[in-house]
Amino acid sequence: MAPKLVATSRQRPLISGDRLFRAIAYGAAALILLIAAVFIVALLIPALPAITKFGLGFFVSRTWDPVRVQFGALPAIYGTLVTSAIALLIAFPVGMGAALFLAEDARLRLLRGPLSFAIELLAGIPSVVIGLWAFFILTPLMRDNVDPFLKHTLGFLPFFQGSASGYGFLTAGVVLAIMVLPIMVALSRDVIRAVPLALREASLALGATNAETIWSVVLPYARVGITGAVLLSLGRALGETIAVTMVIGNRPEISASLFSTGYTLPSVIANEFTEAVGNVYLGALFYLGLVLVVITIVVNVLARLLVWRFTGSEPTAA
C-alpha cells in the first residue's frame, strides 16, 4: 500500500500553488547568492584606488601613514592572527574540558544544566559589554598581576619581554578566548555526543577505563568535528571588533612580545573610517575589509565542511 501512495503523489502534476511556492523558494535562495555577490563587488569597487596603488605590496608593507598616504596591511594581519591564535590556545583546553564534562560525565548530572545555561549566557553577552569589562577590569589586572608573573617565570622567552601596559596582544587574546569559549564548548559537546554508543560500549567491554575510552576512542572519532568547532571559533575571533579595539592599544606594530600593543584588521577599519578622506585612504580601509572577508570566508567554509562531514555522515555506515 505505502509504496503505491508515494508513487502517485510523486507523479501528480504540480498545481499552480506548488509552482508559485517553488518559484518563491528558488527566488529567495538566488537572492542570498546575489546579496553575497553584490557585497563582495561593493567592497571591491571602493577598494580599487588602493589596490591599483599598492597592489600585492599591501600585504608586506608595515607602513600605515595617513599623512603621506602610504598604507600596508601587514601589522593588522599579524595582529589579527596573533590575537586569534592566543584566543584558541587558551580557549581550546578549557573548552574541551568543559565539553567532555558536559557530554561524558554522567555522575554530576545536576551540574550539567546550570553549566550549559552559563555557557549560553556567556554567548549572549554583547561584545561591547565584554569590552567595557576588559577595559576597566582586565587591563589593570593584566598589568599588575598576570604580566609581571609571566615576565618573572617565562621572561626568557621573547614572547614575555618588554614593558607591559596591560594593553596589547595578550589582553586582546584573553578577551577573545572568553568570547569564543561558548562556541567551542557547545559545538564540541554536540560532536562528542554524536559519537556512537556502540563504539564506547565496545571499548568498555574490552576492559578500557572511562578515561581510556575518551582518549583512544571518543576523541579520535570526534577529531574532525572538533577541528570544525575550533575553526568556527577562529572565524568568530578574526572578525571581533569592538572588544579588541578597546584593549589592543591600536598601534600598527609587529613585535614578538605579547605585552606589546598592536592592531587588528577590524580595529583599523572601525577606528579610521569616519575621518578617512581621499579615495586612496578610504580604499585602503576597504582593501583591509576585503582581506578580512576573504580570510573569514575561507575559515568558515573549511569549518562547516568539517563539521558537516562529521555530524552529517551516518556513523553506522563505517
Partner 1 sequence: MKRALIALFGGAIVLAGCGGNTAATNPSTGNANLPTPPGASLTGAGATFPQPFYAAAFFAYNKKFSQVTVNYQAVGSGAGIQQLTKKTVDFGASDVPLKSSEADAMGGSDKVVQLAGTLGTESLAYNLQGVGGGQLKLTPDTIAGIFLGMIKKWNDPALKADNSGISLPDQDIHVVHRSDGSGTTYIFSDYLSSVSSEWASKVGRGKSVSWPVGQGASGNAAVATTIKQTPGAIGYVELAYVLQTNMTQATLKNKDGNFVLPSAAGATAAAKQFAGASPSQFSIVNAPGRDSAPISGYSWLMLYKDQANKARGTAMVDLFYWLVTDGQQYATNLHYAALPGNMVSYDLAVLKSVTSGGTTLLSVSS
Residues that bind partner 1 (CB under 8 A): 63-68, 135-136, 139-140, 143, 163, 165-167, 245-246, 249-252, 261, 267, 270-278
The minimum distance between CB 129 and partner 1, in angstroms, equals 16
Which residue lies nearer to partner 1 by CB, 66 or 155?
66
Give the integer Cα–Cα distance in Å for 190 and 202. Answer: 21
Q: What is the largest CA-CA distance in the chain?
A: 80
Helix (H) or strand (E) run with residue 130 in it: helix 127-133
CA triplet 135, 243, 251: central angle to 5 degrees?
Answer: 80
Give the integer Cα–Cα distance in Å for 71 and 60. Answer: 10
Which residue lies nearer to partner 1 by CB, 66 or 315?
66
The minimum distance between CB 126 and partner 1, in angstroms, equals 17
Which residue lies nearer to partner 1 by CB, 197 or 277?
277
The minimum distance between CB 65 and partner 1, in angstroms, equals 4
Which residue lies nearer to partner 1 by CB, 104 or 272?
272
The minimum distance between CB 249 and partner 1, in angstroms, equals 4
Which residue lies nearer to partner 1 by CB, 227 or 271?
271
- Residue 287's nearest CA partner among 67, 51, 26 is 51
The minimum distance between CB 199 and partner 1, in angstroms, equals 51
Tell me the C-alpha to C-alpha distance, in Å, between residue 201 and each of 7, 13, 218.
41, 50, 11
CB 288 within 8 Å of CB 268? yes
Residue corresponding to grid cell 564540541? 188
Q: Would you state the cell numbers that stand for residue 225, as one nine-digit string? A: 568535528
